[in-house]
């Protein structure tokens, strides 16, 4: 448990340079004398010991997160969160046996994901009104030159914490995290802004939503990727901003051919349905090729691995083709983090050493997306590390 060294502050960050110090003072009635900083610090430390003390268990409920039971104290959660107060009033957990009521995190969340480590940081804030250090192993990547100020693991950890704070009703922590995520939006790659925008939409964080939409609208993210990841109303706002921006910059810019776009989208829909035979029929009925439709890129991003294998088996697509953003199919597969597709592409001639327009190889993309906790972790369907053996090909 990380405690603030400043007794005048009830909330502090010490783990990341992009998080600033703040303070939170509990509400008090106008007739009560204000609590002194020392009293608040002592109270925070005493409550924090309930989480840190392994010598005794005074908890009266459990919340299972990622398969790990976390002991909690219902009186504290209920006093700090209306969500938990209502939950404990409504039911006693899903355990039919005598003892502590038990809850499952996945049953409590209407959206998003909250991991074990993020929930511990959230609980620490609930008990102590302090934000403890973010665990390095789950909030930083393994890229050897990354400063971890806005890499994907740092963003994802903050988003998990935001989901917990928003759903469970901790507005002070939501406010702090929103400022941090706005800073991420300015520093992160455009692709990494998408998950921030999704969570901001569900949490109804208007300021963060506006910042994300502005950043995405001025990025090179294609419409298909946006439509796959974002709610329709958000996509429409981005398209309006883009149309206005294009008109201001170049009013004579040629319009997109709607018939060609329609044919490409039909090919993608066939892939969505795992219907490669329909895709082949569509190809014979139009002048659009697999490469012009970026069909292999699309399959690697969104389809089942067997569909990727079938498209490769046709022998009509260039496995090292670059899309409009300069990404090869392997770059897309690595971003998806699907080992079986990565291995399939490598086995069919994909070059792991091919860089993006920014100079990143598939290996460096993989490292930037991988948490330290997950590094070297084997999966049942393959190992991402195989890319390292092929980097010099």
Residue 22 — φ and ψ, nearest 5°? -150, 170
Q: Say if 301 falls within a structural domain.
A: yes
Question: Exposure of 281 by Cβ count < 10 A (0-12 exposed, 13-18 middle, 19+ buried)?
Answer: exposed
- With a cut of 70, say whether residue 35 has pLDDT above it: no
Contact 102, 94 (CB under 8 A): yes
Distance CA 34, CA 184 (A): 36
CB atoms within 10 A of CB 16: 18
Buried b (16+ CB within 10 A) or exposed e, 324-343: ebebbbbbbbbbebbbbbbb
Q: What is the CATH number of the domain that holds 292?
A: 1.25.40.20
Domain count, the chain: 2
Pick the closest to residue 178 from 152, 204, 153 (CA basis): 204
The mean pLDDT of 240-257, rounded to a whole number, is: 69
Q: Say if 145 falls within a structural domain.
A: no
Q: Would you place residue 253 in the very low, low, confident or very high pLDDT band (cuts 50, 70, 90)? A: low
DSSP 8-state secondary structure symbol assigned to residue 63: E
CB atoms within 10 A of CB 258: 8
Q: Say if 101 falls within a structural domain.
A: yes
Residue 211 — φ and ψ, nearest 5°? -65, -45
Both ends of the chain: CA-CA distance in Å? Answer: 47
Q: Say if 287 falls within a structural domain.
A: yes
DSSP assignment of 246-271 equals HHHH-TTPPPP-HHHHHHHHHHHHHH
Higher pLDDT pick, 253 / 377: 377
Contact 253, 217 (CB under 8 A): no
Residue with tokens 């910059």: 249
Please provide the average confidence, as pLDDT, over all residues in the chain: 84
Pick the closest to residue 70 from 25, 107, 119 (CA basis): 119
3-state helix, strand and coil shares in percent for the chain, rounded to the nearest 5: 55, 5, 40
Q: What is the CATH number of the domain that holds 105?
A: 3.30.710.10
pLDDT tens, 84-108?
999 999 876 554 456 789 999 999 9
* Element of type H or E holding 65: strand 61-65
Q: Would you place residue 22 in the very low, low, confident or very high pLDDT band (cuts 50, 70, 90)? A: very low
Task: Read off the pTM.
Answer: 0.81
Q: Say if 170 falls within a structural domain.
A: no
Predicted pLDDT of residue 97: 52
Strand order, beta sheet including 61-65:
68-72, 61-65, 102-104
Predicted pLDDT of residue 255: 60
Distance CA 29, CA 234 (A): 42
Predicted pLDDT of residue 15: 40
Pick the closest to residue 368 from 348, 382, 387 (CA basis): 387
Higher pLDDT pick, 374 / 45: 374
Last residue of a domain, one of 135, 151, 171: 135
Q: Which domain holds residue 55?
A: 1-135
Last residue of a domain, one of 116, 135, 154: 135
Contact 243, 227 (CB under 8 A): no
Q: Say if 238 falls within a structural domain.
A: no
Buried b (16+ CB within 10 A) or exposed e, 219-238: bebeebbbeebbeeebbebb
Q: Say if 184 falls within a structural domain.
A: no
pLDDT tens, 143-163?
888 888 889 999 999 999 999
Predicted pLDDT of residue 221: 95
The mean pLDDT of 252-269, rounded to a whole number, is: 82
pLDDT tens, 106-140?
999 999 999 999 999 999 999 998 898 899 999 99
Q: Say if 259 falls within a structural domain.
A: no
């Amino acid at each position: 448990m990380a405690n603030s060294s400043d007794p005048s502050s009830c909330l502090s960050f010490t783990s990341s340079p992009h998080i600033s110090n703040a303070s939170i003072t509990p509400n008090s009635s106008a007739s009560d004398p204000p609590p002194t900083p020392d009293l608040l610090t002592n109270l925070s430390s005493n409550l924090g010991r309930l989480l840190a003390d392994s010598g005794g268990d005074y908890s009266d409920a459990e919340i299972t997160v990622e398969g790990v039971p976390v002991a909690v104290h219902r009186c504290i959660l209920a006093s700090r969160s209306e969500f938990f107060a209502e939950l404990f009033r409504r039911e006693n957990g899903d355990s039919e046996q005598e003892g502590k009521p038990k809850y499952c995190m996945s049953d409590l969340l209407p959206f998003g994901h909250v991991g074990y480590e993020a929930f511990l940081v959230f609980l620490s804030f609930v008990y102590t009104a302090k934000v403890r250090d973010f665990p390095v192993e789950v909030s930083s990547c393994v890229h050897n030159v990354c400063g971890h100020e806005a890499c994907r693991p740092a963003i994802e950890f903050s988003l998990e914490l935001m989901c917990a704070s928003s759903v469970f009703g901790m507005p002070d922590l939501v406010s702090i995290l929103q400022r941090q995520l706005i800073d991420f939006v300015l520093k992160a790659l455009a692709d990494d802004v998408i998950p921030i925008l999704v969570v901001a939409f569900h949490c109804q964080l208007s300021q963060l939503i506006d910042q994300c939409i502005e950043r995405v609208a001025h990025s090179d993210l294609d419409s298909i990727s946006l439509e796959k990841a974002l709610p329709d109303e958000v996509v429409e706002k981005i398209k309006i901003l883009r149309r206005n921006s294009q008109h201001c910059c170049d009013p004579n810019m040629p319009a997109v051919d709607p018939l060609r776009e329609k044919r490409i989208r039909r090919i993608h829909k066939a892939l969505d349905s795992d219907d490669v035979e329909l895709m082949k029929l569509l190809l014979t009925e139009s002048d659009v090729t697999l490469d012009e439709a970026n069909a292999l890129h699309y399959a690697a991003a969104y389809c089942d691995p067997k569909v990727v294998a079938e498209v490769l088996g046709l022998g009509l697509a260039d496995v090292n083709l670059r899309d409009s953003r300069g990404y090869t199919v392997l770059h897309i597969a690595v971003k998806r983090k699907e080992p079986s597709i990565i291995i399939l592409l490598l086995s069919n001639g994909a070059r792991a050493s091919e860089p993006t327009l920014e100079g990143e190889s598939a290996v460096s993309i993989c490292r930037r997306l991988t948490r330290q906790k997950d590094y070297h972790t084997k999966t049942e369907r393959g190992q991402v590390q195989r890319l390292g053996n092929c980097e010099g090909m």
